């Protein structure tokens, strides 16, 4: 890991975080839309709906993060995809735990609980993607 990768004053890190935020916002909208559709229209259990929403958004996020956020399009896609998916599954595990806790224990409404749970996993996801999945 290069010292500039961690340097808060490095403008490239802020730009990368901004691009990650844009991609994440698009994935967040896709995730919540897929979740709402699965829960309220298809009447699928919220836990399975979370898995479906994750699968919808993870492919979108991989493509955009690989080519735009981390500019890693020249590196082997298969290797990056495996790492990206591993980090995404770890982040999803955090999100899924928060979702289940909010709905099952604290009786939150499912849509807001999903929205909150996805946000809780963002820091883990960004750090994993930056320093492992798309590490140069």
pLDDT at position 7: 64
pLDDT at position 1: 47
Angle at 62 between CA 132 and CA 30, to 5 degrees: 130
CB 56 within 8 Å of CB 35: no
The tokens for 40 are: 């309220």
Angle at 30 between CA 105 and CA 90, to 5 degrees: 55
Distances in Å between the alpha carbon of 54 and those of 37, 60, 93?
13, 10, 10
**pLDDT, tens digit, 9 for 90 and up, residues 41-85:** 999 999 999 999 999 999 899 989 888 988 877 778 888 889 999
Cα within 13 Å of Cα(66), Cβ side: 20
pLDDT at position 6: 55
- Report whether pLDDT(136) > 90: no
Q: What is the mean pLDDT of residues 107-130?
A: 94
The listed range with the strongest mean pLDDT (15-19, 30-34, 122-126) is 30-34
């Amino acid at each position: 890991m290069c010292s500039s990768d961690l340097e808060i004053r490095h403008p490239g890190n802020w730009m990368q975080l901004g691009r990650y935020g844009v991609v994440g916002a698009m994935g967040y909208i896709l995730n919540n839309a897929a979740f709402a559709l699965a829960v309220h229209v298809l009447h699928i259990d919220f836990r399975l709906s979370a898995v479906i929403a994750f699968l919808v958004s993870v492919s979108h996020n991989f493509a955009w993060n690989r080519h735009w956020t981390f500019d890693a399009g020249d590196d082997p896609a298969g290797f990056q995809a495996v790492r990206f998916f591993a980090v995404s599954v770890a982040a999803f595990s955090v999100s899924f735990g928060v979702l289940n806790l909010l709905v099952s224990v604290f009786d939150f409404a499912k849509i807001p609980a999903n929205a909150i749970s996805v946000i809780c996993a963002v820091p883990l996801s960004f750090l994993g993607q930056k320093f492992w999945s798309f590490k140069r």
